[in-house]
Structure formats: C-alpha cells, structure tokens
Amino acid sequence: MKGIWKRLGFRRPDEMERFILFKAQRNAYLFLVAALFLWTVYESCRVYIHHSRLNLMPCLLLVGASLIQGFSQLVMTRSAVKDDDDSYETGPLVRIVVLACAAAGVLAAAAAALVLMGVRT
C-alpha cells in the first residue's frame, strides 16, 4: 500500500513543509472565519433594513467552524499531554461541557429555524 502512494507522489512532509502547511491552513481558516462573520453581519443588516427573510447559512457555518476548531484543539491537546503528570490539560471538563452545550444549542437553533421557516425534511 505504501508503494502505491509513493508512486503517485505522496509522501510525509518534513518539518519545514509541515510548518508551511500549518501557516497556510491557519491563514485560510482566519480568512474563512472573517468572511463568514462579514456575511453574517451583512445578512443581519439586510434583514433589519429590508425586513426580509434571514439566511441562517453563514451563521451556522461560522458557529460550526468554531465548534469544530474548539473540539479538534481539545482532542489534540488531550492526546499530546495524556501521559504527562504535570499537565493541567488532561481533564478540561468545563471546556468539554461548554462546547457540548454550544453544539446542542446550534443543533436546536437549526432545527427550530427549519420548523419556523416551514422547511419539510
């Protein structure tokens, strides 16, 4: 299986390539969060000024991206320090509870929006 990936040109990046990839992903993430935030503000202003229907897509995408980032950071931090006795990051129960409540709130808001907008699933 490794031979197939190698023949296709896939390989593990070295430390410098990983750093460059991380910076590029960080820049893309920050751009997407900023764009979704501006889209959310635009949609909110449009609804307020023109009394039109609210488009919940940018709001849900922004909250979803934030939740995914928070959960993945939490999981990676826990796995990085799981065997370290001196670390305080091994049991961030409060952050897990807050992120779970936020995720449940987003799902409830999305379901309520679908019901109120008359969308049939």
Question: 44-70, pLDDT tens digit by residue?
Answer: 888 888 888 877 788 778 777 877 887
Using left for φ > 0, alpha for ψ between -120 and 50, and beta otherwise, residue 118 falls in left
Q: What is the pLDDT of residue 85?
A: 62
Question: 105-116, pLDDT tens digit by residue?
Answer: 877 777 777 667
Report the C-alpha gap between 23 and 119 in whole angstroms: 40
Report the C-alpha gap between 102 and 110 in whole angstroms: 12
Query: Which alpha helices (DSSP H) does 1-121 contain, by range?
Result: 2-7, 15-50, 57-80, 93-116
Residue located via tokens 């993430």: 29
Domain parsing of the chain, residue ranges: 2-116
Q: What is the pLDDT of residue 92?
A: 63
Angle at 61 between CA 47 and CA 21, to 5 degrees: 140
Report the C-alpha gap between 60 and 107 in whole angstroms: 9
Residue 59, number of CB atoms within 10 A of its CB = 20
Question: 81-104, pLDDT tens digit by residue?
Answer: 777 666 555 556 667 777 778 888
Report the C-alpha gap between 65 and 100 in whole angstroms: 14
